[in-house]
Structure 1
Amino acid sequence: MISSLSVSAHGVDEVTRQFLETNQGVAIIPFMYIGAKHMLTGYDHLLFLVGVIFFLFRGRDILLYVSLFTLGHSLTLLFGVLSHININPYIIDAIIGLSVVYKGFDNLGGFQRVFHYQPNTKIAVIVFGLFHGFGLATKIQEFQLPSNGLVSNIISFNIGVELGQFIALAIVLIILSFWRRHKSYLHFATLTNTALMSAGFMLIGLQLTGYFIT
């Protein structure tokens, strides 16, 4: 069960796995497709992004925070794969789950209420973006891609991730824009972000369980 959930969270089905393990040379379009699919099926990444934009109402702010997240995970994706930095996937995915918990807690004003301190949200987003990028890099390295065309393929994968992220965010923003017109949006903000934290804790528990039993 843990294995199947981990695979579905990262969009690596059997067809994709076979392609990655047998591909030779540059394959720009397929790697873009795989990158976009990874983001659209990667619910851990999407949950974090939902938390990031939940209370952002201005387009400029949304663009800023999404750009910081993109910068973070793009840097570590490229650096991780090209430098062969491999982190245990269960640990890195548990940290990604922690990022979801963090953002839900932050949206609830937890830091101010509990610690009387508000961390810099921009720094937090880019730091967690770095960890999300290492998660992507770790997943890719599981397939031991050939060095021939590796840089082009990884860049194509990253572009695909950004396209998938754009599509996912567009859908989320459309839903939020309609929801924000109703008073229930703020009324259910606590419930929604509590659910976000709960999902993050479940992700952490799932990944740590996988780490200790494998």
Structure 2
Amino acid sequence: MRPVHRTVIATVVGIAAAIIVFLNAGPALAHGFSSTVYANITAGDEGHIRTKLGLEYDLLVVSAADYEDDDSLFEAGTAAFDARDPEGQAAALNGHAASVAKYVTERFSVTSRGEACKPTRVGDVTIAQQEGVPYADLLLDWTCPERADEHEVRSGLFPDGETYVKGTKTIVTYEIDGRSGSAALDAGSPSFSTAQAWYERFREFFVLGAEHLLTGIDHILFLLALIAGSRRLREIVLAATSFTLAHSVTFMLAALGLVNVPATVVEPVIALSIAVVAGWHLWGIWRRGDHATELETGGGGHFNLDRAGWIRLGVVFCFGLVHGLGFAGALGIDEAWSWTLLWSLLVFNVGIETVQLTIIAVVFPLLILLRHRAPKIGLWATGVISAGVSLMGLIWFVQRLSGS
């Protein structure tokens, strides 16, 4: 076997192995391997600030119960979770308020010029939905030194060491100390100051956007379906551009609060988009029959999209609009308009696009090489990838419709 063939086949095997990992992982929601905490910080009376924390309900129950060795919280909390009973979920947390508050305040803190602010719990915990997942909303007031003009927020909620999730992000929006903006915290960058430089905040959002696409398995599978179904460079460039324009529009509109579509609608449609785009390529292989290999390899000449190609672009654009809503839902910023917020959102989106273009730049040339060197293997490779991706999309679609 020629060296180039061995290299190409090894590449295809590697891609197939990655697909298998994705398929075996397959969560019902796109972002089930990590969690996101939402923190909104506003000014109160002099010397006081208020934080509204949104924490994933089931994680809060198991983490607080484990931290305080509170078996009754675990039993009541998990029973309410299994019953999908928001009132029961709130009652379980409020009935064990001391355990919940101690867990949270040990891992989330506010300081002012090195001096710790003292937390006070405000009101009962309430239950809301975020990306179709129950979240517990907890209000805390913090008493800080008088005339404090700079605050530092630190979050270590749901750390990797608890083993329940990995890579927890805390998305902070704030309007205090005469400043407003957003910040993204994780284990590598667990704190931020309201005096933080603008470029530090933007760097965090760029990394957050990049990591979000990398950990969003359904978005990656959609991208792989686009790559597998594109036969020439211009085709994948047009498809990727269509997808980017569409999801950028709805991402910005939703993140700024101008569009609001529930996750119960967005998540099933995202899953369906994966199945449709991957299935489109399988249908094309079946329709072309004996000419499929020839068309896959190309043969030079001027390339123009046919009617099916333009329809495919339209479908990709429409599904891109829905994926943008998914990106915005995961970011979860609830903040009044500001230029700082706008730039943070743009940088987050640039992080997404950077990873998307990197995946295309790595995977598409390898598939092109395979199609030219071994046309039949190339056809089988893209067919297998598309079949696996389409099947996974259908599985997720059924799961998300049923709420499982």
In 2, are the aligned partners of 1:31 and 1:154 still within 8 Å (CA)? Answer: yes
Question: Which amino acid is the alignment partner of residue 17 of structure 1?
Answer: K
| 1:199 paired to 2:392 | yes
1:145–1:209 distance in 2 versus 1, CA, 3 Å: farther
Between the aligned residues of both structures, percent identity stands at 29
Matched residues in 2 for 1:124 and 1:9: separation? 29
Counterparts of residues 82-161 of structure 1 (less than 5 Å): 82-109=256-283, 120-141=311-332, 143-145=333-335, 147=337, 149-161=340-352
Which range moves more in the overlay, 148-157 or 20-29?
20-29
Matched residues in 2 for 1:41 and 1:49: separation? 13
1:205–1:12 distance in 2 versus 1, CA, 3 Å: farther
Point out the structure with the larger strand share.
Answer: 2
Matched residues in 1 for 2:245 and 2:378: separation? 30
CA-to-partner distance for each residue in 1:20-44, whole Å, 9 max, x for gaps? 1366625211101100111122121
CA-to-partner distance for each residue in 1:90-143, whole Å, 9 max, x for gaps? 421210110111112211227x96xxx9581111111111111011112222x5
Point out the structure with the larger helix share.
Answer: 1
Partner of 2:169, secondary structure, is helix
Counterparts of residues 1-214 of structure 1 (less than 5 Å): 6-8=30-32, 12=36, 16-18=168-170, 20-21=171-172, 25=181, 26=198, 27-109=201-283, 120-141=311-332, 143-145=333-335, 147=337, 149-180=340-371, 181-182=373-374, 183-210=376-403
In 1, are the aligned partners of 2:29 and 2:267 still within 8 Å (CA)? Answer: no
In 1, are the aligned partners of 2:210 and 2:352 still within 8 Å (CA)? Answer: yes
Structure 1 match to 2:122: none
In 2, are the aligned partners of 1:69 and 1:129 still within 8 Å (CA)? Answer: yes
| Long gaps (5+) in structure 1 | none
TM-score, scaled to structure 2: 0.45
Matched residues in 1 for 2:168 and 2:34: separation? 11
Structure 1 residue 8: deviation in Å? 3.9
What do you get for the CA RMSD once the two structures are aligned? Answer: 3.1
Matched residues in 1 for 2:382 and 2:343: separation? 42
Please tell me whether Structure 1 or Structure 2 has the larger radius of gyration of its CA atoms. Answer: 2
Matched residues in 2 for 1:92 and 1:58: separation? 30
In the TM superposition, structure 1's runs of 4+ consecutive aligned residues that sit over 6 Å from their partners are 1-4
| Long gaps (5+) in structure 2 | 1-24, 38-157, 159-166, 175-179, 182-197, 288-306
Matched residues in 2 for 1:10 and 1:77: separation? 21
